[in-house]
Amino acid sequence: MNVATTKKVHNYSAGPCILPQEVFQQAAQAILDFEGSGLSILEMSHRSKPFEAVMAKAQGLVKELLGAPEHYQVVFLGGGASLGFHMVPLNYMKVGGKSAYVNTGEWATRAIKESKLVGDTQVLASSEDKNFSYIPKGFQVPADVDYFHFTSNNTIFGTQYKQFPKSAAPLICDMSSDIFSRPVNVSDFALIYGGAQKNMGPAGATVYLFDPERLGHTGRKLSPMLDLKNHGSKESMYNTPPVYAVYVSMLTLEWIKKMGGVQAMERRNAEKAALLYNAIDRLPLFNGTAAVEDRSVMNATFVLNDAALEPAFDALWKEAGISGIRGHRSVGGYRASMYNALPIESVQVLVDVMEHFAQKNA
């Protein structure tokens, strides 16, 4: 079923973002009548059998799609990846211990700030000198830190790790904006976490996928709400989980599986990114802002060489039904977010607009 092409709006929003059309239909139906129960999913106990099945399925799909080891655990919490920035040092940095980070942009900067609140935090490398337009390479992760944290995809600046850094220390990654966009070797990571709203579902849930054996060694007493080990052992039901966000995430994960899993997503995403970056490079009117080798497959950032042309370009893409491609204020220009659910047809529409605009302004 190709429902995507029936969409009239080509949604490039950076997050919350496009989800599959069929997910919206199922999600809407579940609000009216969840699986024929006569109840809305919004009025059911999170302890009810049907919702427990939703949670188990969502957790199982996270592990299955990413090929996680059997003993890894999955929890869905509120608070966004931003709360994760604080939970990471609380749960992984020993009292009197150390952490290490790489600074690749706004979200990494915030993660570092939260770690500094908890303890000794080393910033091994940063790309701030060039407005975060590249991924620093060649740094060494010291073996004596309690963990090493990085941000796999920099949503705002349009850069992405093509190869993950090597680390003798436990590896922790904020994958908010490229989780489920490509295969990853989960057993390399102590923790992968991310806000759902960029590639997995709606806002309101944050996914944590972790090795429980790595938890509980800091010597720090934690509030149960901030304790990942607690949430893991309580099956993500220590308190009321964000039920609807978990449900819609589950539907999206089912869609990914049906489409062929993260391998298929990787192929689709590579095709979309190639189509757009090719236009950016081919048309002299446009310039990509990220270093070519570090370009994100998810968020393509670019500018018009002559900013005076922006109003005319804006009018053209709006007329074509394109939405959400204005760049983040810290980069300017444009950002086309091409998450899993964005069909290649939408990218073709944008490329056609760019070509048409280039011809008119040649």
Ligand X SMILES: *Cc1c(COP(=O)(O)O)cnc(C)c1O
Q: Within positions 27 to 86, which residues make up the interface with ligand X, using CB under 6 A?
A: 80-82
Q: How far apart are CA 181 and CA 338, in angstroms?
A: 10
Residue 7 is a catalytic residue:
no
Residue count, binding to ligand X (CB under 6 A): 12
Q: Minimum distance between the CB of residue 335 and ligand X, rounded to whole angstroms?
A: 12
**Catalytic residue (one of 178, 198, 272, 294):** 198
Cis peptide before 16 (omega within 30 of 0): yes
Least separation in angstroms between CB 334 and ligand X:
17
Residue 182 makes contact with ligand X by CB under 6 A? no
Task: Candidates 10, 11, 12, 15: give the one binding ligand X (CB under 6 A).
Answer: 15
Q: Which of 136, 158, 195, 202 binds ligand X (CB under 6 A)?
A: 195
Q: Is 151 in the site for ligand X (CB under 6 A)?
A: yes
Q: Is 289 in the site for ligand X (CB under 6 A)?
A: no
CB 95 within 8 A of CB 220: yes
- Rounded to whole angstroms, how far apart are CA atoms 350 and 13? 14
The residue (of 97 and 241) whose beta carbon lies closer to ligand X is: 241
Q: Any alpha helices (H) in 67-196, and if so which ranges?
A: 80-92, 106-118
| 242 touches ligand X (CB under 6 A) | no
**For 276, how many CA atoms within 13 A lie in the half-sphere containing its CB?**
30
Q: Provide the minimum distance between the beta carbon of 60 and ligand X in the complex, in angstroms, as a whole number.
A: 23
Distance CA 114, CA 60 (A): 30
**Tokens at residue 18, please?**
């496009």
The owner of tokens 């020993």 is: 94
Residue closer to ligand X by CB (options 85, 92) is 85
Between CA 194 and CA 202, with CA 197 as vertex, the angle to 5 degrees is 130
Pick the closer one to ligand X by CB: 80 or 332. Answer: 80
Tell me how far, at minimum, the Cβ of 268 lies from ligand X, in Å.
Answer: 20
Q: Please give the sequence-ordered ranges of beta strands (E in DSSP) within 2-129, or none if there are none.
A: 10-11, 73-77, 98-103, 120-126
Selected from 73, 159, 177, 346, the binder of ligand X by CB under 6 A is: 177
Looking at beta carbons only, is 80 or 216 nearer to ligand X? 80
Handedness of CA 82, 83, 85, 86 (dihedral sign): positive
Is-catalytic flag, 137? no
Q: Which residue's beta carbon is nearest to the bound ligand X? A: 80
Closest CA to 2 of 250, 254, 276, 255: 255
Using the minimum distance from each CB to ligand X, give the nearer residue, 10 or 149: 149
Residues between 96 and 125 that touch ligand X (CB under 6 A):
107
DSSP 3-state assignment of 36? helix
The active-site residue out of 33, 49, 94, 107 is 107
> What is the nearest approach in angstroms of ligand X to the Cβ of residue 52?
25
| Range 198-217, binding ligand X (CB under 6 A) | 198
Amino acid at position 357, single letter: F
Q: What is the CA radius of gyration of the chain?
A: 21
Assess 174 for contact with ligand X (CB under 6 A): yes
> Which residues, 6+ apart, have CB-to-CB distance to 259 below 8 Å?
265, 268
CB of 235 to ligand X, least distance (A): 22
174 is an active site residue: yes
Total number of residues shown for the chain:
362
Q: Minimum distance from CB of 180 to ligand X (Å)?
A: 14
Q: Which residues have a catalytic role annotated?
A: 107, 174, 198
Interface residues with ligand X (CB under 6 A) are: 15, 80-82, 107, 151, 155, 174, 176-177, 195, 198
